[in-house]
Amino acid sequence: MQAELIIAHAAQLLTVAGGHGPKRGTAMADVGIIEDGALAVRRGRIVAVGPTNEVLADFAAARVVDARGKVVLPGFVDPHTHLVWAGDRAGEFEQRVAGATYMEIMASGGGIMSTVRATRAAPLDELVAQSRARLDRMLAHGTTTAEVKTGYGLELQAELKMLAAIALLDAQHPVDLVPTFLGAHAVPAEYAGRADEYVDLVVDVMLPAIAQGVKGYGSGENDLTPNPSPITPVFCDVFCDQGAFTLEQSRRVLEAARAYGMGLKIHADEFEPLGGTRLAVELGAISADHLVCTSPEEIELLAQSDTIGVALPGTPFGLGHHQYTPARAFIEAGGALALATDLNPGTCWCESMPFIIALACRYMHLTPAEAITAATRNAACAVGLGEETGSLEVGKRADVIILEVDDYRHLGYRFGTNPVQTVIKRGEIVKEGSTA
Ligand code: NIG
Ligand code: FE
C-alpha cells in the first residue's frame, strides 16, 4: 500500500501504546520499545507501526526518512502553559535572586499584575508576535501540541484578546493549541481587597461570554456584538493559592464553568496547601496541576481518581526552591502523572520539554521512561486528546519526533542542549535535520 511518509530503521521506536486513557502507576514505565522500528503515515495519520521489515513489506512511500542510530517517539504534549503574554519580568528575577520572594513581589503589585499591565497594553499583533517566538522554540524542542491559558487580561476584553491570540497562533502555527480560560489567575489591582467581587465578574460576566462563544475581539472598542468567538476555551482553570483565590472562590469559578460544559483544571498546592487537590477530585477535574505541597492523603486521593496529576518541575527550579511534586508516592499509589513546562514570565520561562524531563528525573526521581510517558501519552490525556495524539498507534495523528541519540535514556540524562532533530506534525516535516 502507498503511504506519504515512512520513518524506518529507528534504533528505538517508542510507541507509548496501550489501550485507552493514561498509563497509571507501574504501567508508566512501559514505553513500548521497538528496535529497528518504523512507521507509515497517510493523510496525517499513522497507518502502520512495527519492526521495519514488517512495515516496509506492507507500505511504500515517496518520502522515506532513515532513522538509523536515532530514537523515534511521539511529539511532546505540553499540557500546562501560559504561552501568551507581553513583556518580561527580568527585573523581578534579579530581585528574587537577591532574596525577595515570589509572593512578596506579587503582594507589592508586581508579579502576575506586572504582566497583566503589559498584556492589556499590547496590540493583538504584538502579543501574537511575541508569543509566536516562544511557540517556535517549543516546536524546535519537540512539542507538537500545547495547552495555553488566558489569565493576563483579567478583564473581558483583554481575556478575549488573549483568546484571539491563541486562535491566530493555532491557525498559523503547526503546533496544535488547546485553550484554557484562566480569568481567576489573580485579583486585578482595580479589585484589590474585593476578591469576591472579582469572582462575581468572572462567574457572572466573563464565563458566560466566553463559554457561550460570544463575540469576537477586535471588531471595535468594547464591541461585544455577536461575531464568532475567536476560540471557545475547552477548559477553565483557577489559581487556588494564598495571595490568589481561596478554596471557596475556586469552587465557585469551577462549578460555574462546569455548568457551561467546560472541562476543569486547577493550580493546586503550588505555594500553600488550601485543599485544591481534593476539590479537583470532587469536581471531576481533568487535571490538578503543581502539587508541590500536597498532603500525603490528598496525593493518595488523587492517585485513586481519574484526575491526572500534572507536575511542573520547571517552576520550583525557576524559583530556586527545593521542594518538588512527590511524584514517586503518586505513581506508587497508582496515579497517572503528566509533565508540563508551565511556561510563563514569572516562575518558569522554559519552552523545553526535554529540560523538564531532565528535572523530573533528578528531583522527582522519575525514570526516563516514566518521564517520557508523562510528557507524551499522559500529557495528551491531560488536555483531552488522548485518543488523538501522545502515542504512536494506528489511527492517531502522525505527531512524531526524531532524536539525535540512539538510546531514549539520553532524554533525562543530558540537558542544556536540544536532542530533537526532526519534528513531524500531522505527517508534515516541520523541523528537519538539525538540533539547534
Ligand atoms: O503557574 N501560579 C500561577 N501562575 C503561574 C505563574 C504566573 C506568573 O507569575 O506570571 C504559575 O506558576
Ligand atoms: Fe501555571
185, 332: one domain: yes
Confidence band, pLDDT 50/70/90 cuts, at residue 213: low
**337: CATH:** 3.20.20.140
Distance CA 266, CA 149 (A): 12
Return the ligand 1 atom nearest residue 152 CA: 10
Can you give the pLDDT at residue 212?
72
Answer with the one of 381, 399, 420 that is the final residue of a domain.
381
Cβ of 342 below 6 Å from ligand 1: yes
Cβ of 115 below 6 Å from ligand 1: yes
Distance CA 58, CA 49 (A): 11
160, 61: one domain: no
> Are the CB atoms for 42 and 304 separated by under 8 Å?
no
Q: At what angle do helices 124-140 and 156-172 cross, to 10 degrees?
A: 50
Confidence band, pLDDT 50/70/90 cuts, at residue 230: low
369, 397: one domain: no
**39: CATH:** 2.30.40.10
Distance CA 35, CA 169 (A): 37
Structural domain count of the chain: 2
16, 147: one domain: no
Return the ligand 1 atom nearest residue 241 CA: 2
Ligand in nearest proximity to the CA of 239: 1
326, 418: one domain: no
The Cα angle at residue 272 between residues 277 and 76, in degrees rounded to 5: 55
Distance 185 CA to ligand 1 centre (A): 8
- Among the residue ranges 187-201, 209-223, 282-296, 383-397, the one predicted with the least confidence is 209-223
Q: Whose CA is nearest to atom 8 of ligand 1?
A: 346
Q: What is the pLDDT of residues 159-202, one digit of tens each?
A: 999 999 999 999 999 999 999 999 999 999 999 999 999 999 99
Q: What is the pLDDT of residues 19-29, one digit of tens each?
A: 999 999 999 99
Cβ of 267 below 6 Å from ligand 1: yes
393 pLDDT higher than 50: yes
Return the ligand 1 atom nearest residue 312 CA: 1
- Out of 239, 242, 323, mutate this one to test ligand 1's pocket (max ligand atoms within 8 Å of CB): namely 239
Cβ of 149 below 6 Å from ligand 1: no
Q: In which domain, by residue range, is 268 found? A: 77-381
Cβ of 391 below 6 Å from ligand 1: no
Distance 77 CA to ligand 2 centre (A): 15
Q: What is the pLDDT of residues 321-368, one digit of tens each?
A: 999 999 999 999 999 999 999 999 999 999 999 999 999 999 999 999
Return the ligand 1 atom nearest residue 270 CA: 2
How many percent of the chain have pLDDT more than 90? 93
The mean predicted confidence, pLDDT, of the chain is: 95
Return the ligand 1 atom nearest residue 342 CA: 1
Distance 7 CA to ligand 2 centre (A): 35
Mode of pairing for the β-strands spanning 420-425 and 400-403: antiparallel
425, 360: one domain: no
106, 209: one domain: yes
> Are the CB atoms for 17 and 393 separated by under 8 Å?
yes
52, 90: one domain: no
- Among the residue ranges 154-163, 209-218, 374-383, the one predicted with the least confidence is 209-218
Distance CA 136, CA 174 (A): 9
Cβ of 345 below 6 Å from ligand 1: yes
* Alpha-carbon dihedral sign for residues 360, 371, 421, 76: negative
411, 303: one domain: no
Location of C-alpha cell 519526533: 401
Q: Whose CA is nearest to atom 1 of ligand 1?
A: 342
pTM of the predicted structure, to 2 decimals? 0.96
Neighbours of 220 (CB within 10 A): 10
247, 302: one domain: yes
Phi, psi of 31, rounded to the nearest 5 degrees: -100, 5
9, 130: one domain: no
Return the ligand 1 atom nearest residue 267 CA: 2
111, 197: one domain: yes
Confidence band, pLDDT 50/70/90 cuts, at residue 433: confident
